[in-house]
Amino acid sequence: MRVFVTGATGFIGSAIVQELLGAGHQVLGLARSEAAAQALAAAGAEAHPGSLEDLDSLRRGAAAAEGVIHAGFIHDFANFQASCETDRRAIETLGGVLAGSDRPLVVTAGLAGFALGRPSTEDDDNPGAAPRLSEPAALAQAAQGVRAMVLRLPPSVHGAGDYGFVPAIIGFARANGVAAYPGEGLNRWPAVHRLDAARLYRLVLEQGVAGARYHGVADEGVPMRDIAEVIGRHLHLPVASKSGQEAADHFTWLATFAANDVPASSALTRQRLGWQPTQPSLLEDLEQGSYFGG
Ligand SMILES: NC(=O)c1ccc[n+]([C@@H]2O[C@H](COP(=O)([O-])OP(=O)(O)OC[C@H]3O[C@@H](n4cnc5c(N)ncnc54)[C@H](OP(=O)(O)O)[C@@H]3O)[C@@H](O)[C@H]2O)c1
């Protein structure tokens, strides 16, 4: 299949490109710069010049493909609402091109926002995901007849090259001289290795059912205290609980998120697509030490 991939040069997207090429698909990757185009060519993919804001470029990319994976996102947390709007428009535009065909549209969404007190499942709605609009935008496309699927990712997609939330938590530990966890540290984050996530994107592309939600979850829920303990051990720092203002001071922009308890199951995804994670868990990945090099 010829697949148009947005975010093809990103942490997860670059793994998706490798996964698709390895399975015999062709990749047309959205590239917003010459450097991105060169990276795609070096990876064995074709570059499609454009950007998430340039809707014509998205239309052309989708029209030239037999399927679309949307893994691009503008991670500008100072203008998060605007990034979410751009994301929504991009999904609508991609869906508009695929409407009336069986060509798949795989849309990345998140598992943050659930407040169920139990592991969320693929069949649970996630009204707390706003302001991010990826999931409702994809489901709206499915309701209009597009073969659109949602792939929900956990807060930690880990592996070589990770510069997401776990590296941020390591940075806070270094800066403050303490590996902290919020409250009792029992709140849980699900996690997945980027290579396992990439394989799931391919399976959803190939087999996904319109309107379905899939969970890219290998670790159902890793307690924040366990994450802090590995960090403390590797950085030779004390491990401590932080609550209230102390937690806000320590985790700064990540404070609310760090306190989230968002365990998630992927039992239905595994059953429906035959997906089986094989890569190291988050704690194993942290134990291996590459997160503590610099
Ligand atoms: N990493 C995680 O732990 C994690 C967890 C949950 C959800 N997610 C979601 O998974 C998806 C992929 O994340 P990621 O970690 O791979 O992100 P990333 O490494 O930041 O990659 C973002 C991708 O989007 C592209 N991009 C950004 N702004 C663009 C624009 N204006 N026009 C065109 N392309 C643009 C980037 O292109 P350049 O290479 O040109 O910068 C890059 O290819 C996102 O939706 C993210 O929110 C990630």
Q: Digits of tens for pLDDT over the chain (294 positions)?
A: 999 999 999 999 999 999 999 999 999 999 999 999 999 999 999 999 999 999 999 999 999 999 999 999 999 988 999 999 999 999 999 999 999 999 999 999 999 888 899 999 999 998 878 889 999 999 999 999 999 999 999 999 999 999 999 999 999 999 999 999 999 999 999 999 999 999 999 999 999 999 999 999 999 999 999 999 999 999 999 999 999 999 999 999 999 999 999 999 999 999 999 999 999 999 999 999 789 985
Angle ∠(157,187,71) on CA atoms, nearest 5 = 20
Please name the helix (run of DSSP H) or strand (run of DSSP E) that holds residue 130, with its range, or none.
none
- Nearest CA owner, ligand 1 atom 2: 157
Ligand 1 center from residue 14 Cα (angstroms): 10
16 lines ligand 1 (CB under 6 A): no
The answer to whether the Cα torsion of 261, 210, 8, 52 is positive or negative is: negative
Atom in ligand 1 nearest the alpha carbon of residue 33: 40
Q: Which residues have a Cβ under 8 Å from the Cβ of 238 and sit 6 or more positions away?
A: 177, 178, 179, 232
Ligand 1 center from residue 235 Cα (angstroms): 28
The answer to whether the Cα torsion of 40, 45, 50, 55 is positive or negative is: negative
Per-residue confidence (pLDDT) for residue 294, from 0 to 100: 57
Per-residue confidence (pLDDT) for residue 129, from 0 to 100: 82
32 lines ligand 1 (CB under 6 A): yes
7 lines ligand 1 (CB under 6 A): yes
Within the chain, all domains assigned CATH 3.90.25 are found at: 158-189+221-262+280-292
Per-residue confidence (pLDDT) for residue 131, from 0 to 100: 84
Atom in ligand 1 nearest the alpha carbon of residue 86: 31
- Nearest CA owner, ligand 1 atom 18: 10
57 lines ligand 1 (CB under 6 A): no
Q: Place domain 2-157+191-220+264-273 in its CATH homologous superfamily.
A: NAD(P)-binding Rossmann-like Domain (3.40.50.720)
Ligand 1 center from residue 246 Cα (angstroms): 31
Q: Which of 18, 76, 80, 153 has most ligand 1 atoms within 8 Å of its beta carbon, as the pocket-test mutant?
A: 153
282 lines ligand 1 (CB under 6 A): no
Angle ∠(217,272,1) on CA atoms, nearest 5 = 90
Within the chain, all domains assigned CATH 3.40.50.720 are found at: 2-157+191-220+264-273
Q: How many whole angstroms separate alpha carbon 78 and alpha carbon 11?
A: 21
Per-residue confidence (pLDDT) for residue 141, from 0 to 100: 98
49 lines ligand 1 (CB under 6 A): no
158-189+221-262+280-292 folds as UDP-galactose 4-epimerase; domain 1 (3.90.25)
pLDDT tens digit string along 232-262?
999 999 999 999 999 999 999 999 999 999 9
The string over 141-166, giving b where at least 16 C-beta atoms fall within 10 Å of a residue's C-beta and e elsewhere, is bbeeebbbbbbbbbbbbbbeebebbb
DSSP SS3 for 221: strand
CA atoms within 13 A on the CB side of 258: 33
Q: How many whole angstroms separate alpha carbon 231 and alpha carbon 176?
A: 13
- Nearest CA owner, ligand 1 atom 33: 51
75 lines ligand 1 (CB under 6 A): yes
Q: Where are the alpha helices (DSSP H) in 126-193?
A: 134-143, 165-176
Whether pTM exceeds 0.85 = yes
Per-residue confidence (pLDDT) for residue 215, from 0 to 100: 98
Report whether 202 contacts 196 (CB < 8 A). Answer: no
Per-residue confidence (pLDDT) for residue 289, from 0 to 100: 79
- Nearest CA owner, ligand 1 atom 4: 157
Atom in ligand 1 nearest the alpha carbon of residue 162: 1
